[in-house]
Amino acid sequence: MTAAAVLFATVGSPDGPPAAALKCGASTLIGRLLDQLASLGVEKAWVVTRPEWHGDIEAATAQAGLTIELRSSASTAEDMRTVDEVASATRKPLVIGSGDILTQREVLAGLLADPRVVSGILTRSKRVRGSWTFRTRAERGRLVSAGSPYHRVRKPTGHFLGLIKIDQRDRASLVSASRKLAELTESGLPPRWEEEFERNRQTWRLGLVRSAAGTEADQRPGERSAGDAQDTQQGVALLNDEEEDDDPLDLDSVEDIVLDPESERSLARRIEVARRDPVPLLLVGLVRSQVHLTNSYLRELYWSRPLSAEDVELSMERMEGYDEDRVLLDSAVKGSDGFFTTFFVSPYSKYIARWAARRGWTPNGVTVLSMALGIVAAVLFATGTREGLIAGAVMLQASFTLDCVDGQLARYTRTFSKLGSWLDSVFDRAKEYVAYAGLAIGAAIGFGLDVWPLAAAAFALQTVRHAVDFSFASARHHVLSTLPALPLDQPEDRLLPGRRTEGALPEEDALPAARTSLLNRLGRSGAAVSRALERRSVTRWPKKIIVLPIGERMALISVTAAVWNPQVTFIALLVWGSLALLYQLTGRTLRTVAA
């Protein structure tokens, strides 16, 4: 990948120099980050810092393995104008982020080198202990809301980890967003932003009070004290978890609460960092400019943002204790697979993926081999003998295992391709339908059963289910792409009553009665129940099983064919598949009317 980078070294450290210039091993935080970016194809970097730190950052980046252009900026408005200038001048993908991030190269590779992430951000679904982060919300893989010191997020789903990748096709939107932000911050912050920041400050303070009272006992060895950053982050969580915009938190008396000196210092530090870091604000600008940003997840790799020499030392110790290969291998397993795949295939298939990687196998080659084994399984099914059915069931499971291995191999080696994605999707369907044909032939040869009508019905049912999946996903993507653009000066991440934005319907056309209809309330209740069930594994896994994903289908085919006969296989597929279709249609209907 050939790209350029803009890194901000605008946050200070308690030790005096900017945090990005802190010593990190033989280099500095920003020097280490620049070297990692250079190894991933970044050829030039603009480093933005405050005028008083120009010399510190110049020394900290002197040994970096790429071209550096150092810029002095005295304010957030100047930060945004620098982004505007760089984005206007370069025709390459841009990486924008904080210069004081400490992470592993593979984390950056996941954001920069993965072709599935055209424009996106580095994120994590859970907050990172010991670091201050702002929350985000994604729907159908697209970022729809982002938080900053001046913007809130309803129903958050992730945490922004300070790095943004912008493809050249979104460069015009980046320029537009940075110009709007420069105008908004040129003469001080908008009044509503100041109000939101004050609300944030009070909430962080309240979070420190609650943390100091209740979290010291269960603190992990080596973690910071209750007055440190991770506890301040709990205050951020209190704010961002709110679903209403009418300030339901009672913060009037927060200022009367006395904090211990360490907590007061932590709060002051949090406020300073929030004011000085322009990256979260730029992310809000991109989201509200309707740039299609996707998530590149940290998974179980290491990330931190150490802002003092002590933090750097502690973070380096933790990162050195990571078995990076093991973490990469674990991260190669999809986090959203079905029950059968997660517990009966992935525990061993990932080791096959690593074995294949060390021998130079490609994901596409594994996909083709998986298809070949699927054809062999169908031929064995077609013999109509008990031995053939058992051997076919075993071969079908081997084929499915390789179907898991190809994706895990691609994620482990980061060798993705559009051809591979297409082959995987087409061959998944083809293997299943070829197995249907083999079973139908075998039923006639070995059992004297005409099950072709059942086979055709199973084929049609599965085709309908695939069509429903693709059409629903396409409709959701269309809805997300046509959402009205929210104004940047608004802290809330939804259209407020009485406020018009470009693309929004007039109030008289918004059908407020529909929002309170019985069907709408039923949909909202159903969606709330579904979210509640997702939070517990005891209910989450049955939800995954009932929809009969491909792992469960392959297991159902193998077991029923090996133990009974093809007729039982097709009846089981039709009954379970029909229930799964009904369940999915009901759930999607409720989600649609709840919108």
d(CA 511, CA 499): 16
Residue 23 pairs in a beta bridge with 28
Q: Which domains does the chain have, with CATH numbers?
A: 3-224+233-249+262-328 (3.90.550.10), 355-450+510-594 (1.20.120.1760)
User: Burial of 210 by CB count in 10 Å (0-12 exposed, 13-18 middle, 19+ buried)?
Assistant: middle
Q: Is the dihedral of CA 312, 313, 314, 315 positive or negative?
A: positive
DSSP one-letter string for 333-397: S-TT--HHIIIIIHHHHHHHHHHHHHTT--HHHHHHHHHHHHHHHHHHHHT-SHHHHHHHHHHHH
Amino acid at 372: A
Q: Do 572 and 558 form a contact (C-beta atoms < 8 A)?
A: no
d(CA 210, CA 234): 9
d(CA 240, CA 589): 28
Find the helix or strand (DSSP H, E) in which 58 lies.
helix 54-60
List the chain pLDDT tens, one digit each, 595 residues. 568 999 999 999 987 789 999 999 999 999 999 999 999 999 999 999 999 999 999 999 999 989 999 999 999 999 999 999 999 998 899 999 999 999 999 999 999 988 889 999 999 998 887 788 999 999 888 999 999 999 999 989 999 999 999 999 999 999 999 999 999 999 989 999 999 999 999 888 888 887 776 644 333 323 333 233 333 333 333 333 333 344 444 555 666 677 788 888 888 999 999 999 999 999 999 999 999 999 999 988 899 999 999 999 999 999 987 888 888 899 889 878 999 999 999 999 999 999 999 999 999 999 999 999 999 999 999 999 999 999 999 999 999 999 999 999 998 998 888 888 889 989 999 999 999 999 999 999 999 999 999 999 999 999 999 999 888 877 777 777 777 889 999 999 987 665 554 444 444 444 444 445 676 777 677 777 777 777 787 888 999 999 999 999 999 999 999 999 999 999 999 999 999 999 999 888 877 776 6
d(CA 399, CA 405): 10
d(CA 228, CA 423): 50
